[in-house]
């Protein structure tokens, strides 16, 4: 019964409350933080569970009262309100009980790369980065450019940013893939619409314990950093290129003047990329998890088209089309992200019901 399953959450929540009030926990900051985090994660289902059990008990009482001459009609009216409410709560609880993605609470590295379309593609990288930055601002997240390479006519050939905040990965994890733009480039004299594309990768920021990279698995090259057009912007070998030998993953960073700082940044991104590669490998092994994805997250998969002449955005994975391009580019990304999450939850529920 659902009530029995919910009681487990209520008991654990109350158990944590008791633990947090004990003097031993008060002196253990690490344990206190861990328990507070667990309780915070349990809060939504705890509140819904209490409400569900209260309504279920009220329904049972009202059903008993149906036989009563004096209160029977009143009980019938109450049941007409309570029973649909219980059904609604049950659906909400099912979603809350879907196994949590362990990466949902993490910060992310957002990697944008210009693809087909030359200069126009690099300009669109900048536009998409601004879109994500505005969205992050609305969410109260912080955005820090880790590495960037400028395009010859503006924009960026490549840009990597670290986005920090509450549950960043949970919101942006479905953004990975090819983003296509259809518009008239500023350099187009005939007014013709061009199609360009960029790739987006979303990688969770990882702790050292989550990915094991041994020193002998890394090849490091140092070189002089160069600016746009190839001119040297540094007289020392401060730029760093790290190669993870087992996977062939390469990260090159030249933004800082210090070789040490560039290496530190490159190492963090390398760990995130290796972790991402491991996640994909695991996903391919797990057929059930693969079904839960809104698309594969593969950079080569075309996931979205931004059509400027029609003011239209289409997400191809869920067949969503909205005529609110300006809003989306101004950071109103929940117009697309919320339906993506709802779709993923619906798919997850189907799988849960099968198992």
Best CATH choice for the domain 2-96 from the list 1.10.10, 1.20.58, 1.10.3470, 3.40.50? 1.20.58
Mean pLDDT of 153-181: 94
Q: Are 2-96 and 108-347 in the same CATH fold?
A: no
Comparing 188 with 27, the larger pLDDT belongs to 27
**SS3 category, 157:** strand
Convert the pLDDT of each residue in 281-339 to its tens digit.
Answer: 776 666 544 444 444 445 567 999 999 999 999 999 999 999 999 999 999 999 999 99
Query: Cβ(110)–Cβ(144) under 8 Å?
Result: no
How far from the centroid of its chain's Cα atoms is residue 348's Cα? 16
Indicate the CATH number for domain 108-347. 3.30.70.1660
Bridge-based pairing of strands 302-307 and 177-183 is: parallel
pLDDT tier at 355 (50, 70, 90 boundaries)? low
pLDDT band at 47 (very low <50, low <70, confident <90, very high): very high
As a whole number of angstroms, the distance between CA 336 and CA 320 comes to 8
Tokens of 90: 């049950």
332 phi and psi angles, rounded to 5 deg: -85, 55
Q: How far apart are CA 43 and CA 56, in angstroms?
A: 20
What pLDDT score was predicted for residue 224?
A: 79
177 in Cβ contact with 201 (< 8 Å)? no
> Per-domain residue ranges for the chain?
2-96, 108-347
Average pLDDT over the chain reads: 88
Q: Which two tokens mark 51?
A: 């409400």
Q: Which two tokens stand for residue 144?
A: 């820090």
In the chain, % of residues over pLDDT 90: 60
Other CB atoms within 10 Å distance of the CB of residue 4: 7
Burial class (CB in 10 A: 0-12, 13-18, 19+), 271: buried
Angle between helices 29-65 and 2-20 (to 10 degrees): 140
Please tell me which residue, 250 or 100, carries the higher pLDDT value: 250
With contact defined as beta carbons under 8 Å apart, do 79 and 141 qualify?
no
Most confident of 58-62, 94-98, 349-353: 58-62
pLDDT digits (tens, 9 = 90+) for 256-291: 888 889 999 999 999 999 998 888 877 666 654 444
How does residue 108 score in pLDDT terms, banded at 50, 70 and 90?
very high
Kindly state the average pLDDT of the residues 74-88: 94
């Amino acid at each position: 019964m659902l009530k029995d399953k919910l009681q487990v959450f209520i008991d654990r929540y109350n158990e944590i409350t008791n633990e947090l009030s004990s003097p031993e926990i008060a002196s253990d900051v690490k344990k206190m933080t861990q328990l507070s985090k667990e309780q915070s994660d349990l809060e939504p289902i705890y509140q819904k569970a209490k409400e569900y059990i209260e309504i279920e008990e009220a329904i049972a009482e009202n059903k008993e009262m149906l036989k009563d001459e004096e209160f029977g009609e009143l009980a019938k009216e109450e049941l007409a309100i309570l029973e649909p409410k219980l059904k609604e709560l049950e659906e909400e609880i099912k979603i809350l009980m879907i196994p949590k993605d362990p990466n949902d609470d993490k910060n992310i590295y957002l990697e944008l790369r210009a693809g087909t379309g030359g200069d126009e593609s690099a300009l669109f990288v900048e536009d998409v980065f601004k879109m994500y930055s505005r969205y992050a601002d609305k969410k109260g997240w912080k955005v820090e450019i880790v590495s960037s390479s400028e395009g010859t006519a503006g924009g960026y050939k490549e840009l990597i940013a670290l986005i920090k905040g509450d549950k960043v990965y949970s919101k942006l994890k479905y953004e990975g893939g090819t983003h296509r733009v259809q518009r008239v480039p500023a350099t187009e004299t005939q007014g013709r619409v061009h199609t360009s594309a960029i790739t987006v990768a979303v990688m969770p920021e990882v702790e050292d314990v989550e990915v094991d990279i041994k020193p002998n698995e890394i090849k490091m090259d140092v070189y002089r950093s160069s600016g746009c057009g190839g001119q040297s912007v540094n007289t020392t070998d401060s730029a760093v290129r790290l190669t993870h030998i087992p996977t062939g993953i390469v990260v090159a960073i030249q933004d800082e003047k210090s070789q040490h700082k560039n290496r530190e940044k490159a190492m963090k991104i390398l760990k995130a990329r290796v972790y991402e590669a491991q996640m994909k490998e695991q996903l391919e092994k797990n057929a059930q998890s693969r079904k839960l994805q809104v698309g594969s997250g593969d950079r080569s998969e075309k996931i979205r088209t931004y059509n400027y002449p029609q003011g239209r955005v289409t997400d191809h994975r869920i067949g969503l089309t909205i005529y609110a391009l300006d809003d989306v580019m101004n950071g109103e990304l929940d117009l697309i992200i919320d339906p993506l999450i709802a779709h993923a939850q619906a798919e997850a529920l189907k799988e849960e019901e099968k198992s």
